[in-house]
A = this chain, B = another copy of it.
């Protein structure tokens, strides 16, 4: 495997000149450029990024931290990040933390050890203290899930308002007994979405009923099934459920179907995220569409700015309520 020295010798020039050709510098005469390019061809030379990266003190790799790759919610965001990254000559390392601080630390080490130039964190369970500390020295952006007020730039939607709109939709089509399927309130978005839920109810003169609020440990399909089981067992059974993730909602859907009830006839269901699958279920799912691709591209652009050493501001993007069969009574 040839290196730049050999190319230089073969072309009869210095390594500096070869490097200039490689980096498209305009200070090379077309004659020598040709010589060099020929040598490169003949030797089948490929510049080593290891050498270049060391010299430039960069890795051109950015980390994406997600709790699990199994939640399709992240897929579109990742695509957005990826496209921007690639067009800026960055590559992405997808890091599944399983919300495990130990795994998390492996990845944090990657930036400490210069193997990564920055991080986009989408893990709501991330250790905020560590992250904050890391952010003092390294480029970090939070995407979709963020610890508030810790001074790290983020991109998100207005969760309170989105939740409000979802619940309001249920109220408008006549529901008054509406259950909330939420996650642990240690997560900011969980608290925000509950607030939106409460505001919508209040606005319609309905008092929030704690018996109608269910907390799940995770955002997965099974969690939705289990929670729905409990809801169906209530003596005062609600007529609608608002779940804070599509996977939860799909679990609910499955459970309702299994119990012989029908959606939306007996029970309306609203999800959150608009993952691909939300359109594949039977019935299709009413949900809040997060602008996932846009979130990804935005976060990536912010990160690259940050890596360049510029200051960046947080961004709040628009969402949309998508009404489909699961509430189209």
Q: A: which residues have CB within 8 A of B?
A: 46-51, 53-54, 57, 59, 61, 69-70, 72, 75, 78-79, 82, 86, 91-94, 96, 103, 106, 109-110, 112-115, 221, 250-251, 253-254, 257-258, 276-277, 279-282
Residues of B within 8 A of A47 (CB): 113
> For the complex formed by this chain, how many copies does it contain in all?
2
Shortest Cβ gap from A237 to chain B (Å): 20
| Cα-based distance from A94 to B103 in the complex (angstroms) | 18
Give the complex CA separation of A101 and B251 in angstroms.
39
Partner of A75, one of B70, B106, B114: B70
A142–B181 Cα distance when bound, in Å, is 42
- Taken together as a complex, chains A and B put the C-alpha atoms of A74 and B257 apart, in Å, by 29
Instruction: Tell me whether A49 and B114 are in contact in the complex, defined as CB-CB below 8 angstroms, given that A69-B79, A93-B92, A221-B276 are known contacts.
Output: yes
CA distance in complex: A72, B75 (Å): 10
Chain B nearest Cβ from A138, distance in angstroms: 11
Q: Are B50 and A57 in contact (CB under 8 A)?
A: yes
Q: Across the interface, which residues of B come within 8 angstroms of A279, CB to CB? A: 221
9 nearest A-B pairs in the assembled complex, by CB-CB distance: A49-B115, A50-B54, A46-B112, A48-B114, A49-B113, A94-B94, A54-B54, A257-B282, A50-B114
